[in-house]
Amino acid sequence: MRIRIVDAFTDRPFAGNPAGVLLLDAFPDDDRLQRVALEVNHSETAFAHRLPAGGEADWALRWFTPATEVAMCGHATLATAHVLHTAGAHEGPVRFATRSGVLTATPREDGTITLDFPTAPLTPVQTPAGVAEALGAEPRTVLDTGPNIGDLLVEVADEQTVRGLAPDLGALAAHSERGVIATARAEDPARGYDYVSRCFFPNVGIDEDPVTGSAHTALAPFWSERLGRPDLTGLQASSRSGRVRTELRGERTLLSGHAVTVIDGELLV
């Protein structure tokens, strides 16, 4: 099987979020998919195979962390669409059949790819006991992000607080299905981004995700309401860093970014 490693939500190698991408004839058993994802050992590995013509989707797509299969992944979807287009396996918009419904990825003239994802339903909740201590910062606002995402979205005081977080991941794992998205307004929007975030997902084997497309389906409605604009840019302030352009369209959120293939090889076993 041919395997590629793609850095997503970045226009340069060794930044953004790396994902493994494998294009298959059909999905093998789940155990094999999980073992490959563990071997790749990036936050997600995407597996895709072509579907018969004439259906509602063009390719079937699944995503695995090193520990488990997940219901939605933005950066690995972007990476898969990038591989399909650069390898000549698909032209134009591509429709993926996934556990979160049909997701579309559309290449743009500027070299970016735009993903069409469902907007996360945000529900304000009381700050759970222990979250502030586990995160290492006092929450201003806490919201549940719904079943597709499975995170707590936590607004903190400012950008420097987000950048300085060093959470107790073991304690944080008790407070959500997947993990916690920490966010704050950008200190200086002139730098080209409107808000910052970091994502901690200990429950799916990811201490900190470098750039998380799915999290931006919650960040987009949260910040669009506060900033009064549907079109925003988020900076995920991990050590690798990456930017996600978001456009809120009611029940759908568009996520746009670049991708770069950094490894192209063969899985021998």
* Residue range 116-174, pLDDT digits in tens: 999 999 999 999 999 999 999 999 999 999 988 999 999 999 999 999 999 999 999 99
Q: What is the pLDDT of residues 17-26, one digit of tens each?
A: 999 999 999 9
Burial 61-97 (b: 16+ CB within 10 A, else e): bbbbbbeebbbbbbbbbbbbbbbbbeeeebeeebbbb
pLDDT tier at 183, thresholds 50, 70, 90:
very high
DSSP character at residue 36: H
- Domains of the chain plus CATH, in order, are 2-116+257-266 (3.10.310.10), 123-250 (3.10.310.10)
Task: Kindly list the catalytic residues.
Answer: 44
**Cβ-based neighbours of 238, under 8 Å, separated by 6 or more:** 198, 199, 208, 209, 210, 211
In order of 2, 40, 59, the CA distances from 267 in angstroms are 6, 10, 21
Pull the structure tokens for residue 55.
């259906």
What is the reported pLDDT for 130?
A: 95
pTM for the full model?
Answer: 0.94
| pLDDT, average across residues 7-15 | 97
- The DSSP secondary structure of 45-90, one letter per residue, reads EEEEEE--TTSS-SEEEEEE-SS-EES--HHHHHHHHHHHHHTTS-
Nearest in space to 179 (alpha carbons), one of 204, 157, 162, 196: 204
- CA proximity to 152, closest of 103, 101, 198: 198
> How much is the average pLDDT of 185-197?
97
The pLDDT confidence band at residue 45, using thresholds 50, 70 and 90, is: very high
- Taking CA atoms, 124 is separated from 89, 146, 256, in Å, by 43, 11, 27
- Give the C-alpha separation, 171 to 36, whole Å: 29
Answer yes or no: is pLDDT of 63 > 90. yes
